[in-house]
Amino acid sequence: MSTSALERAEAMEIAQLDALAERFVHKSWLFHLADAKESAPRPPAGSRVMMGEDPRLPPMPDAPTLMDFFKLRLSPSHQHLLQSARLARKNGLPGKMVLACLLHDIAVTGFIRADHGYWGAQLIEPYVDEEVSWAIRAHQVIKFFPDEENGYEYPESYRVMFGPDYRPAGYVARDYEVARKHRWYGSALAICMNDEYAFDPSVEVALEEFEDVIVDHFRQPAEGLGNDSSSSAHMWRTLRRPCNAL
């Protein structure tokens, strides 16, 4: 970057922080609860609160695409998604299942870990084939149940993370029983199979490798994710502006 470009960037950053200094940034009550706080800080009387674009975050285009959200909002751990998608393609899965692997943990890398299969499926549901969102929702519960006949073992990483005696919650077992009998069980299992072996910190995969799959299998709204009126548009807007007061 040239000196003048650097100066301009610095000046812009200072202006953005100045704008922020006048605003109180609310945090979701969940943040305070998790930190064992008994009350949330209140904005000083008469102060403005954060609404609209958040100057602390990378700016997004007016009509953001799935790729924009990957690059500007998802955590760096989205490499796990790219690695899973690459493995799925290498294993010969059809394009829509490569997309399913690309998006299977989008909730974890985007906004919430708890019940990530359910949240992630809901987020993408209006824009993908029904089988893709179904498989993403189900992969969360199917991962807990080995299926040796089909070559799927209980993940060693789960044994480490949750302890050897961990048993999934009742709703997980219940939803697994339903998923096990479903015609798309194999698709959710395919996500698990391409998920488990996908963690490799030394591998860097470019999102552009999956541009074709996104174009072919993700119905990008012309007005941009979050600007449309789909049933999950509000979730994309929240990803874009997570600290809006309301």
- Interface with Fe ion by CB under 5 A: which residues? 105, 195
Q: Which is nearer to Fe ion, 29 or 162 (CB)?
A: 162
Residue 163 Cβ, how far from Fe ion at the closest point, in Å? 19
Residue 140 Cβ, how far from Fe ion at the closest point, in Å? 6
Q: Pick the closest to residue 145 from 104, 93, 185, 109 (CA basis).
A: 185
Residue 121 Cβ, how far from Fe ion at the closest point, in Å? 11
Tabulate helix, strand, coil % of the chain (nearest 5): 55, 0, 40
Helix axes 79-90, 185-196, angle to 10 degrees: 110
Q: Which is nearer to Fe ion, 175 or 195 (CB)?
A: 195
Residue 202 Cβ, how far from Fe ion at the closest point, in Å? 18
